Amino acid sequence: MRYTIFMTRHSSPHAIPSDAVQLRTEDAIRNLAWFRYNLRKFLRFSEKAARQCGVTPQQHQLMLGVAGYTGRGTASVSELAEFLQERHNSVVGLVERAAQRGLVRKEHDTNDRRFVMVSLTEQGEQILAQLTELHKEEVKAAKEALMKVPKVPAQVLEVKKKAI
């Protein structure tokens, strides 16, 4: 039997059979694949819902960031860039387009005009409320799917049966 030396962060080396290490790696890969699959399913739903409500998925994410990221109901462009994981200048453009659509409003700091706070307009609040309602069940389903041990979906099994 082959062994692999395995060390945890705070322990001494342990000899683990190589097939056990392979199994752990396969489990980790499978878990990561299913995690990404379920995230993508949720994101696909969310993108479609945003479009059905007349906004882009990016505008929906922007409104979520403005309304919920800081807990204040407002956010600076820098905070939104962090929330969206985008470059500052990309977020400036997104905020500008959303302001032109009447979804958000911008307020410049009186002391430093470069500092911009973003808040939702009434129209932005209404659209975000509608999208939030549409997402409630999907969030619940996604949470349950992410917490489950991954299983092979029925459609994959059907493909395997047809191939045999």
Q: What percent of the chain has a predicted confidence (pLDDT) above 90? A: 57
pLDDT at position 9 is 55
Instruction: Determine the Cα angle at 138 with ends 137 and 142, to 5°.
Output: 120
pLDDT at position 127 is 98
Q: How confident is residue 91, by pLDDT bands cut at 50, 70 and 90? A: very high
Q: What are phi and psi of 76, to 5 degrees?
A: -80, 165
Determine the Cα–Cα distance for residues 143 and 141; give it in Å rounded to an integer. 5
Instruction: Please name every residue paired with 104 in a beta bridge, in sequence order, or none if there are none.
Output: 120
75, amino acid identity: A
Q: Among 17-26, 66-75, 111-120, which range has the highest average pLDDT? A: 66-75
Q: Radius of gyration (Cα) for the chain, nearest Å?
A: 23
pLDDT at position 56 is 98
Query: How does the average pLDDT of the chain come out, rounded?
Result: 84
**Average of per-residue pLDDT across 2-19:** 54
Q: How confident is residue 8, by pLDDT bands cut at 50, 70 and 90? A: low
DSSP for 94-120, written as a single string: HHHHHHHTTSEEEEE-SS-TT-EEEEE
Structure tokens at 56: 């882009």
Q: What is the pTM of this model?
A: 0.74
For the stretch 44-52, contacts whose Cβ atoms lie closer than 8 Å and that sit 24 or more positions apart, written own/partner, are: 45/135, 45/138, 46/135, 46/138, 49/131, 49/134, 49/135, 49/138, 50/131, 52/134
